[in-house]
Each structure stands twice: as C-alpha cells, then as structure tokens.
Chains A and B, each alone.
Chain A
Amino acid sequence: MASLTVLRLRSTDLALIERQLRVKIAQLPHLFLDAPVLVDLGALGDGAAALVFGDLVRALRSCKLVPVAVANVPDGLRGAVTDAGLGVWQPPALGRTRGGGSPDAADAPAAETPAPEAQATETASADVALPTGPSAAVAPPRAPHAGPMVVSKPVRGGQIVYAQNNDLVVLAPVNSGAQVIADGHVHIYAPLRGRAVAGAQGLAGARIFCQKLEAELVAISGAYIMAEEIPAQFHGRAVQIFLEGGECRIAAL
C-alpha cells in the first residue's frame, strides 16, 4: 500500500514551519528524508489564503521533503495549489480535521495513526503524521517468512538502507553519513560508523547488534543515543542496543 507523510499546517508562517520541521527531521531523519508529503490545510480554515504555495514548496524541499499534494484545499485556492505544481487531494482521502488531532485511521487510508514519537514531538505550527505500514484491517495476508534483508556491500555516506517489515543484516561497514533502518532488528557484522535505527515503526523489542560501535546515532522505536552520549567503554566494542524503560541501553556482547 502506498503511504504518505501528512503535514498538517497550523500556521502560515513559513519560517516557523521550516524551523520546527528541521528539528523534527533531525530527530528522525530516516523517516523524512526525500519523503513524499501531503500538506493538509484543514486546520488553517480561512487562514490558508495567506499561504504562498511556491514558497511553501521551496521551504519543504529545502528540508529534503517532497511535497506532492494538498488536502482540504478551499475552492478559491485550487489554482494557486496547482500552479505550484502540487496536486489537489480529494476527499474522502482525508476527512475534515477534528480539533487538530491526528488523522483518523478509519477514513484516512493515506495516513494512519501516527507513530508514538510523532505525537510526542508535535510542534506548534505543524504536526506530522508518519507513514505507516498497512493497517491490520487492510494488511495483505502475511507472506511466508522470506528471511531478513541482507546487504553485503558497504553502506556509504549518503546511502539509506531500509528493511521494511523486516530484520536487516549488514555484512560490511556502515560508514559515516550512512543510515541503516529496519522495522525489526538490525545486525551489523562490521563497524557501525553511521546511523542505525531498529524498530522504526515502533517495535519496542527490536535490537541493534554490531561488531564495532563507532556510530553517529543509534535509535530504537524513537528513542535514540547520539555519538557523544555513547559511554567510552563501548567505543569500538561489539555491542547490542535495546530499549529498557523507554530508553536506549547499550551492553557489550
């Protein structure tokens, strides 16, 4: 099923929106980088007329998001939206918003219940519903176990590897500036110098295993540890990382 990140605007102040987005993206870059975005105007009401869509597109693109369409477009603004190269998203894709809450899974196939971290970091100008996998109701029957995703070449700076609904096994270094992400566990049988994210869709039991910890960031289900917070005794060591009491813990292997 296709999934879209929904950006619900609650302000037309582009500088504010951009600033808050950058904070959010810095927290969970893997979920936002180059993500297609549906902009929802539902919470702006008549205020939406103040938006300059061309500038909005530029602001989102500068955050490495890819705006594709706009939902809840007042009739008078359709032209402005399409002039900016965006599509007009038709109901029933997104119902009218209810008091600024999250989109409702029942009538919003594009954006289901946001992952916990998205709610927790809701910002003043916009909130973001992360794309999620198929919901229970529409999930296709589970395929027979296909085994984890296996990567045997180095993951280089700027590259992102994402094992959706799966574990990820990496047999070569994950270099600085690279990201490896799995909805399940992440195993790296080589140095981890970049970023690793396990349980990307919220699986709290997911773990990261790596042979040599030199990471820039490790995250499990939204909780993360930055390089400078990694205790010295684990640097360069074989470790596992897991959630305990909602926080990331590191233990030697």
Chain B
Amino acid sequence: MSKVVVITSGKGGVGKTTTSANIATGIAQQGKKTVAIDFDVGLRNLDLVMGCERRVVYDFVNVIRNEAKLQQALIRDKRVENLYILPASQTRDKDALDPEGVGRVIEELKQMGFEYIICDSPAGIEKGAQMAMYFADEAIVVTNPEVSSVRDSDRVLGLLAAKTSRAELGGPAIRTHLLLTRYSPLMVKRGEMLSVGDVLELLGIPLLGVIPESKAVLQSSNKGAPAILDETTDVAQAYLDVVFRYLGQERQHRFIEEEKRSFLGRLFG
C-alpha cells in the first residue's frame, strides 16, 4: 500500500522543504521505500537541501512531457537506503504540471513499490500548490506560530477538503496533521508568538509535532544533509519524534516547554 503525503502550508518559507527532506529521510531510515517529489517548479530547493543537486539530469517535468523515463529522473540517495528524490524542473513554465501527467507519475511510483510518496508543495494556494495536493491521501500542514501563517494554513485546509481528487470523487476525507515549525517557547512566553494551544484552537486538527527554531536547520541545508541525520540536535530529535509518531508510535510532545505540562498535558496526557 502506498501513501501519498503532501507537505503544504499556504504561506511561503515556513519550512515545507525542510520538513519534506527530514520526514522522507526519517521514514526511509525505518526501511520504507520512500520518494520525495519537488513540486516547486522553477525553484528547485529539495535537491539542494538533500545534497543531490549535482546529480540532477532529468526532472519531474521531463518525465511528465515524456522526455525521460521515471527511472532516469529518480535520484537515489547516497546516505540512506530506500530513499529517492524526484527533482523539480527549473523551467519557467508554471503550467508544466498538469493533473494527467502528475497522476500518471504518481501511479507509476506506486507500481514501483514506493510506500511513501512525499510531495513538497510550493507556497501559495494557486495552481502549483493545488497540483501538489491533488492526489494526496494525507496532508502535513506546516505552520509557523504566527497569525498570517495560521490563516494560510486554514485556507489550505479548506482546499484539501474541496479541491483534491478525493474530494472531487467523494472519497474519504484527506487525513490532516498539523506540524508547528520554527517554534520558540521563549517568544511564546513573551507574547511574540502564538502558542501551540492557540494554533490548535484556531485550526482544529491533530498535532503531529513541534519543531523548534534552530540554527541547525540552516547549517544542515548548507551541508546538503537533512538535520535528522545528526541525532545530537534538538531539530533532529523533533523530526525523529514526528516520524515515529507518523508511523504510529506513541511519543510525548517535546520542545514546547512551558506549555507542555499545562495545555498539552491535558490534551494528550
């Protein structure tokens, strides 16, 4: 059984690509055949964050246009077994992705035995983002603890409920998970950021995890090695928790500090 998971947010720069790279890596480390697809046509970020940019020959759009076979475009990760990347194209043509083509590629990935197909969405709520979510079975909604990010996530949740294959065919609703990233308990305490409780109340979907704000993220993407690979950092620990939780294990929520015992203790304790 394959699962198509879209990593989406509405607002830009909240940590979708970081999350896609880390979750795909973490799931593959658990022995599941995983592919991360970069839907951000024109930008190409995922291959950089995953350190395989020099190995890109063909890309997602080439495959859709039948200019290359899927096997030619898939890049096998050098560090983690079972992990593959399907890079985005640098074409300026924003309409390069169409539902038929994307659907065909996803179907082929399923046939190849991929268990997790992670779709890294571009920012926004327009066509590119809708294409990334269209075939999803599940969505991880990446949100920063600030009002504009929460509002955009809310809009995205509305689109997930209406503008996806499942919604159009009347299938079961897409499962949605909230991932709160770039969280700083100190700023929450000072009232400069929304708290986990605030965001949960506004969005009303289950919390998959909280990823702290950390310099380790930038350092790891500069190195082209997802943070989760260096288990000594708090970000790695947070993403590992998320992966295990996502795969069905119970894990206490961490990195919330102040909030932990009071609010989440009540909710999840």
Binding site for B on A (CB under 8 A): 153-159, 172-173, 175-178, 193
Q: Chain A residues with Cβ under 8 A from B161's Cβ?
A: 153, 156
Q: Quick one: closest B residue to A173, CB to CB?
A: B204
Q: For the complex, is B202 an interface residue (Cβ under 8 Å from A)?
A: yes
The size class of the interface chain B forms with chain A is: 10 to 19
A109 nearest CB across to chain B (Å):
31
With beta carbons under 8 angstroms apart, the residue of A156, A176, A193 that contacts B157 is A156
Q: Quick one: closest B residue to A159, CB to CB?
A: B158
Q: Quick one: closest B residue to A194, CB to CB?
A: B154
Query: Which one of B154, B159, B202 has the highest number of Cβ atoms from chain A below 10 Å of its Cβ?
Result: B154
Contact between A158 and B125, CB atoms less than 8 A apart: yes
Q: Chain B residues with Cβ under 8 A from A173's Cβ?
A: 204
Q: Chain A residues with Cβ under 8 A from B157's Cβ?
A: 154, 156
Q: Quick one: closest B residue to A158, CB to CB?
A: B155
Q: How far is the CA of A172 from the CA of B154 in the complex (A)?
A: 14
Further pairs besides A158-B159, A159-B158: 10, Cβ < 8 Å: A156-B154, A156-B155, A156-B158, A157-B152, A158-B125, A175-B151, A175-B202, A176-B151, A177-B154, A193-B202
Q: For the complex, is B186 an interface residue (Cβ under 8 Å from A)?
A: no
When A159-B158, A159-B162 are in contact, do A154 and B204 touch as well, CB less than 8 Å? Answer: yes
Q: Quick one: closest A residue to B152, CB to CB?
A: A157
List 23 A-B pairs, Cβ < 8 Å: A153-B161, A154-B157, A154-B204, A155-B158, A156-B154, A156-B155, A156-B157, A156-B158, A157-B151, A157-B154, A158-B155, A158-B159, A159-B158, A159-B162, A172-B204, A173-B204, A175-B202, A176-B154, A177-B151, A177-B154, A177-B155, A178-B158, A193-B202
4 closest A-B pairs by CB: A156-B158, A157-B155, A157-B154, A158-B155
Taken residue by residue from 147 to 172, chain B's Cβ proximity to chain A (1 for < 8 Å, 0 otherwise) reads as 00001101101110110000000000
Q: Chain B residues with Cβ under 8 A from A158's Cβ?
A: 125, 155, 158-159
Q: Chain B residues with Cβ under 8 A from A157's Cβ?
A: 151-152, 154-155, 158
A217 nearest CB across to chain B (Å):
16
Q: How far is the CA of A159 from the CA of B167 in the complex (A)?
A: 14
Q: Chain B residues with Cβ under 8 A from A155's Cβ?
A: 158
Q: Quick one: closest A residue to B158, CB to CB?
A: A156
Q: Chain A residues with Cβ under 8 A from B154's Cβ?
A: 156-157, 175-177
Q: How far is the CA of A178 from the CA of B158 in the complex (A)?
A: 10
Q: How far is the CA of A18 from the CA of B152 in the complex (A)?
A: 27
Q: Chain B residues with Cβ under 8 A from A178's Cβ?
A: 158
A215 nearest CB across to chain B (Å):
15
A38 nearest CB across to chain B (Å):
27
Q: Chain B residues with Cβ under 8 A from A159's Cβ?
A: 158, 162
Q: Quick one: closest B residue to A193, CB to CB?
A: B202
Q: Quick one: closest B residue to A160, CB to CB?
A: B158
B166 nearest CB across to chain A (Å):
14
A63 nearest CB across to chain B (Å):
18
Q: Chain A residues with Cβ under 8 A from B155's Cβ?
A: 156-158, 177
A125 nearest CB across to chain B (Å):
30
A34 nearest CB across to chain B (Å):
13
